Structure 1
Amino acid sequence: MDGLMLDSERAITRCLSKAANEQGHAIEPAFWLRMVGKGDAACRAMLAERIGDDAGQVLLDRCHVLYDEVVEAGVPLRPGILALLDLLVARRIPRAVATSTRRPLALRKLAAADLLRRFDTVCTSSDVVHPKPAPDIYLLAAERLRVAPAQCLVLEDSPTGVRAALAAGMTPIQVPDLLAPDEEVRAMGHRIVNSLSDAQKLLELRLEAGA
């Protein structure tokens, strides 16, 4: 969802940076980028190690207030997402959201972006014990869609999500947003494209070949 369908990673990192600045913490931008794709617990742990448990929680609480204001105003869509979803709907391909965001916020964001109605199910970090990069959330999505994991295509922006998809035995296509793939990420051997439009072209070729 974040960084793949919604242009929210930039908003989140801006809110984190603003909260840190308000509270007098000098934290470099690269630190926030390392949080991309990680769940709440992992982000809390990173902040606790950097500035301490209490200060980290205060910073996150302030960030949530700032980000709620962004969500209420509406998070912009990533280029190409509507055309891709239109194709999937037209071909009657089952669709699920698998996000590290907690359920209440995820549903609010999807509804505000008018994306909620386009999916058969929404799986969030509230629904699983182990967040990405564990495969749990993708396996849950496959179960709810009644599709075998090996038959699932995953679109992801973050390396953490790609690792979760591979661990679930699925086929990931990565569409990087804020994090450019490094050598370690590329070594995982999955397909990496520049945009959702490029991902759609690959999917159309596969559908045509299987027609």
Structure 2
Amino acid sequence: MSRIEPLPFMPEAVVFDMDGLMLDSERAIIDCLARAAAETGHPLEQALWLSMVGLGDAVCREMLVERLGADDAQALLQRSQALYEARVDAGVPHRPGIVALLDWLQQRAIPRAVATSTRRPLALRKLRAAGLLHRFDAVCTSSDVASPKPAPDVYLLAASRLGVAPARCLVLEDSPTGVRAALAAGMTPVQVPDMLAPDAAARALGHRIVDSLDDALRLLDARFVG
């Protein structure tokens, strides 16, 4: 487990990112993008796909339009979407430790929400196929807010729907983009990196970083009283 300070408070709610945090979907998304790029005659470097981790659909689209032009970017994205939807319908695998963590929170009646950059229809579809939708009191998506992460909007909406002050919410995120959104919302983020190791700029944010969701659960369990 990473060397970190204990949580300064017992959260009254926990808000979860989805892709790369609960679901092993970042790898699936990047694989589908890379396959679609190759199939449409535009093989692009892995670094570009990694730079999209944690960003909203509109931002990723603009990055591809800048590289390829509008028509080629649209063709690539349509092919990638078709490949990815087949993966979603099969059920995207869980990230290790998510079920045990959700069990722990549910047993203690701690409210739970999802705050994701994915659009609402796809987010619900992914959570349902993965058997996780019923585990949450609220699902907040980029469809529900004006600005995606790193803006705080989706996290502030989650706190509002749970009826818990942002300062009393713990956020679990895998990406620096999501961590910045949580900090901007006045919440306490714990990062569980997936595909991207935190760089110096991310570490300078001063938030807690752990190696796994099992470690995040140990943080909560150590703080829990009663």
Report the TM-score range of the alignment, normalised by the length of the smaller protein.
over 0.9
Aligned residue in 1 for 2:6: none
Residue aligned with 1:132, SS: coil
1:60 is aligned to: 77
Question: Is residue 183 from structure 1 mapped to residue 206 from structure 2 by the alignment?
Answer: no
SS at match of 2:224: helix
Show structure 1 runs of 5+ residues with no match.
none
- 2:34 maps to 1:17: yes
Structure 1 residue 173 displacement after superposition: 0.2
The CA distance in 1 between the partners of 2:154 and 2:69, in whole Å, is 29
Q: CA–CA distance in 1 between the matches of 2:182 and 2:74?
A: 30
Residue of structure 1 aligned with 2:129, choices 103, 109, 112 = 112
The alignment partner of 1:169 has SS state of coil
Moved over 2 A (4+): none
The residue type equivalent to 2:107 in the other structure is A
Counterpart amino acid of residue 105 in structure 2: L
Q: Is the 8 A contact 2:166 2:187 kept in 1?
A: yes
Identity over the aligned pairs, expressed in percent? 72
- Give the alignment's Cα RMSD to 1 decimal: 0.6
**Pairing 1:47–2:61 present:** no
How many correspondences in the alignment? 209
SS of 1:61 mapped into structure 2? helix
Whole-Å separation in 2 of the counterparts to 1:206 and 1:171: 14
Number of the residue aligned with 1:195: 212
List runs of 5+ in structure 2 lacking aligned partners.
1-17
Structure having greater relative contact order (Cα 8 Å, sep ≥ 6): 2
- Find the residue that maps to 1:180 and give its secondary structure: coil
**Distance (whole Å) between structure 2 residues aligned to residue 53 and residue 181 of structure 1:** 32
Determine the C-alpha separation between the residues in 1 that align with 2:177 and 2:136: 22
| Amino acid of the structure 2 residue aligned with 1:156 | E
Normalising by structure 2, we get a TM-score of: 0.91
The letter of the residue matching 2:41 is G
